[in-house]
Every structure is written in C-alpha cells, then in structure tokens.
Amino acid sequence: MVRLTIDSRKLAKEIIKKKAEKVLIQAPAGLKRKIADIVQKLERKTNAKIFLSADSCFGACDIPIGTIKVLKPDLVLHIGHAKMLALQNISYFPLQYEFSKKEKAMLLKLLIKELKSKGIRKACGVATIQYIELLKWIAKEAAKHGIKIVLKKSKYGIAGQVLGCETSAARSKAEAIVFVGDGVFHAIGIAKAEKKSVLILNPLAKHVRWLEKKKLREIEKKRIATLFKAKQAKRFGIVLSVKPGQFNEKLALEAKRILEANGKEAVLIAADDITEHALLDFNLDCFVAIACPRLADDAPYWKKPLIGFEELQLIFGK
C-alpha cells in the first residue's frame, strides 16, 4: 500500500542537534493531522516546547515569517517540501511516498508499454518532491528495457524536481517528458514552458495518460477571455504576496508603472494568503498577481479577472 510517513525520530534528532527549546512545526494541509498525532511524543523525547503552525503552507516558499517574528522559536521544522530558501533556523523535511515492490513494478510496466507504443526511446523525467525516489528508480529500471529517462537538476539542485513555479528540470533534448505526480497542474506548466508532449504517470491513481491537447486549448481559451477582460479594465489592484519565496516588490512597482503608462489606475495591495473574498472588498476591476502561478488555476472562476505579470506585459504590448 502507498504510504506517506513522517519519521518522528528524524525530527527529534534535528531538535536535539540544534539544542532547540522552542520549536515551530509547519506542514501543508493534509499533513497537519499527522503532525498533531506525533507532537506529544516529540515533546517527550526532546523536552522542547512545540508549537504547530495553523498558517497556510502551500510550498517551500511559504514560511510563516509573521508567526516566527512574534513567537521567536529556536527552530522551524518545515515538513513536506524540499529546501528553497536559505533562512536561518529552518530545517526542511521533504516527504516521499513509499511503494511496495509490486506497485513499483506495475507502474514501470505501464510506463514502458506506453512509451514503446509511441516509439519513444528517450524522455526527460520529472516529478514533484514526493515522488523523486520513485522517479529515480523508474529511470534506472527503464534503462534495462532500452528506454533512457534523463534526469536534469532543478534550480534548487534536485535531479528531476519540478515545482509549480520552477520547471527547468524538464528542459532537455529528449522528445517527450515523463511527469510522475498526481494532478495536472505541474504537467500543464511543463507543457506550456517546454512545448512538448507530457506523459503523466500518476502513482496514486495508477495510470499513465498523455496531457491532452484539448485540455491545453481549453485552458488557453479561458486565459484569452481573462486577458480580454483585463485589457478593458480601468482600476487595477497589484497584489504582492508577502510570502518570503514569492515576494518581489520590484516587479509589483514595475507592474504599476506599466499600468499607469497605459492610462490605468493601479493600487498596490500586500497579502499573505491571496483569496478572491479578500480582494473583492477593494472593488477594483482587475488584479495583477505578483505571487505563486498556482493562483491562475483558480482565477478563471473568480468574479474579477486576475492575471500574472507576464500576461500584463503581453496585453500592454511587450
């Protein structure tokens, strides 16, 4: 059975090694419950006072700076994502899904069959952090079946790793890209950036599927409709994320400059979690997000259009 386990011994070891007396633990939704289950054991083992962060934790970019400033923990344990930011006193604990031998063999078989049926002998392999070990194993085993799966290093130094905002590991001369992960968000980002076919191996659903061109066209259509609305808008809110790995004040100011140069009104807004509900209160016509690209996922369903910086450049002529 597929498992995602948090090794409490590793966490305890880190707390003891850092001689931390006050610890803040941060985990994404879905893992918070698992952390709550082990926190008492950790306190007993380490004698540290442990606080669990209830703030959002969307990625390695999302460190609760506000809580840290007030609480002043000696150590922050960030669970579930690999290191992105070199901030003091933060230790990252990425997690890996564990698969049985039988499950791995079955996933490999599915992948090899699909690649061979399309005559593909070389592909670039990428995965989200939870599946990196599985990807490495697949790459090694696929070679025995005459298929080369190349793993390139990401910007953060991890072979094969992709994030929603960083897909450089998918860049190679191979004819196709194999993405190991659940969901299509990353695969869409990769297909858009690399303009190549992406084969998704979903280890939880246990299937392989090509990212459909139809799906990409649908997304593009929605984006074009959003850009059209944005171009007609008069009053813009530039929403600057204050999450440490997303914060880019310079870009927000540049967005303001572009808008004003094109005769638009532009208001700067700072936010931690960016939600439609919070933004609608401002009663503006359109929003430019200087934040995680994942926001554009929800945006087609928002009442007011939300675009990214590159889209802003696109509609105003760059």
Query: Of the candidates 15, 23, 59, 73, which one interacts with ligand SF4 according to CB under 6 A?
Result: 59
61 makes contact with ligand SF4 (CB under 6 A)? yes
Q: Binding to ligand SF4 (CB under 6 A): which residues in 140-169?
A: 163-165
308 in contact with ligand SF4 (CB under 6 A)? no
| Chain position carrying tokens 């984006």 | 223
Nearest approach in angstroms of CB 158 to ligand SF4 is 13
With CA atoms as reference, report the closest residue to 188 among 167, 158, 159. 167
- How far apart CA 270 and CA 237 sit, in angstroms, is 10
Nearest to 22 by CA among 45, 51, 44, 42: 51
Q: Which of 246, 286, 305, 309 binds ligand SF4 (CB under 6 A)?
A: 246
58 binds ligand SF4 (CB under 6 A): yes
Count other C-beta atoms under 10 Å from residue 100's C-beta. 11
Residue 54: CB minimum distance to ligand SF4, A:
18
User: Which of 112, 174, 184, 292 touches ligand SF4 (CB under 6 A)?
Assistant: 292
The separation between CA 286 and the C-alpha centre of its own chain, rounded to angstroms, equals 25
Task: Work out whether 185 is an interface residue with ligand SF4 (CB under 6 A).
Answer: no
Q: Is 25 in the site for ligand SF4 (CB under 6 A)?
A: no
When the beta carbons of 245 and 308 are compared against ligand SF4, the nearer one is 245
Burial class for 253, CB neighbours closer than 10 Å (0-12, 13-18, 19+): middle
Q: Which residues pair with 25 in a beta bridge?
A: 52, 77
- The token pair at 237 is 């809110």
* Binding residues vs ligand SF4 (CB under 6 A): 58-62, 163-165, 245-246, 292, 294
